[in-house]
Structure 1
Amino acid sequence: MRGFNLDQLQAFADVVDLGSFSAAAERCNLSQPAISQQVKLLEQRLGVKLIERIGKRAMPTAAGNALRAQIGPIDQAIRGALDAVAPFGSGVQGQVRIGCGATACIYFLPAVLAGIRQKYPDLEISVKTGNTADMARLVETNDLDIGFVTLPFASRALEITPVMKDPFVAIFAANPETASGGDISDGPISPSEMAELPLVLFEQGSNTRTLADDWLRKTGRSVRPVMELGSVEAIKELVGAGLGASILPSMAIVAGRSHLPVQARALDPAMGRDLAIVMRRDKTLTQGLRVVRDGIIAAGQKADVALPAS
Structure 2
Amino acid sequence: MHKEFFYMPLNLDQLATFVNVADLGSFTAAADKEGVTQPAVSLQVKGLERRLGVRLIERVGRRAQPTAAGLDLLSHARRLLQQAAAAEEAMLPHKDGARGRVRIGSGGTASIHLLPRAIAAARKSMPGLEITLHIGNADDVLHDLEANSLDIAVVALPASGRNFEIEPFYEEELLAVAPVGSLVPEGGPDAAFMRDRTLLLYEGGNTRRAIDAWLAAPEIRTRPAMEFGSVEAIKELVAVGLGWSILPGLALRHDRAGLVTTSSLKPKLTRHLGMVLRRDKHLTRGLREMMKCLREFKD
Q: In percent, how many aligned pairs have the same letter? A: 41
1:228 aligns with 2:227: yes
Unaligned stretches of 5+ in structure 1? 1-84, 305-310
Structure 2 residue aligned with 1:296? 294
Shift of 1:91: 4.3
Query: 1:152-163, aligned counterparts within 5 Å?
Result: 152-163=158-169
Structure 1 residue aligned with 2:270? 272
1:218 aligns with 2:217: yes
Shift of 1:260: 5.4
Shift of 1:277: 0.8
Secondary structure of 1:269 counterpart: strand
**Conserved 8 A contact 2:156-2:207:** no
Shift of 1:220: 4.4
- CA deviations 1:166-198 (Å, max 9, x no partner) are 221111112x1xx3xxx2233221110011111
Structure 2 residue aligned with 1:109? 115
**Cα distance in 2, alignment partners of residues 110 and 154 from structure 1:** 26
Q: How many residue pairs end up in the alignment? A: 209
Structure 2 residue aligned with 1:145? 151
Unaligned stretches of 5+ in structure 2? 1-90
Distance 1:88 1:128, change over 3 A: closer
**Cα distance in 2, alignment partners of residues 285 and 138 from structure 1:** 18
**Cα distance in 1, alignment partners of residues 94 and 251 from structure 2:** 40
Query: 1:168-187, aligned counterparts within 5 Å?
Result: 168-174=174-180, 176=181, 179=182, 183-187=183-187
- Normalising by the residue count of structure 2, what TM-score does the alignment of the two structures yield? 0.65
1:95 aligns with 2:101: yes
**Cα distance in 2, alignment partners of residues 92 and 198 from structure 1:** 52
- CA deviations 1:32-51 (Å, max 9, x no partner) are xxxxxxxxxxxxxxxxxxxx
**Conserved 8 A contact 1:86-1:286:** no
**Cα distance in 2, alignment partners of residues 158 and 262 from structure 1:** 38
**Cα distance in 2, alignment partners of residues 230 and 188 from structure 1:** 26
- Residue 138 of structure 2 is aligned with which of 127, 132, 135? 132
Structure 2 residue aligned with 1:190? 190
Secondary structure of 1:148 counterpart: strand
Structure 2 residue aligned with 1:62? none
Structure 1 residue aligned with 2:249? 250
**Cα distance in 1, alignment partners of residues 269 and 149 from structure 2:** 32
Shift of 1:215: 1.6
- Normalising by the residue count of structure 1, what TM-score does the alignment of the two structures yield? 0.63
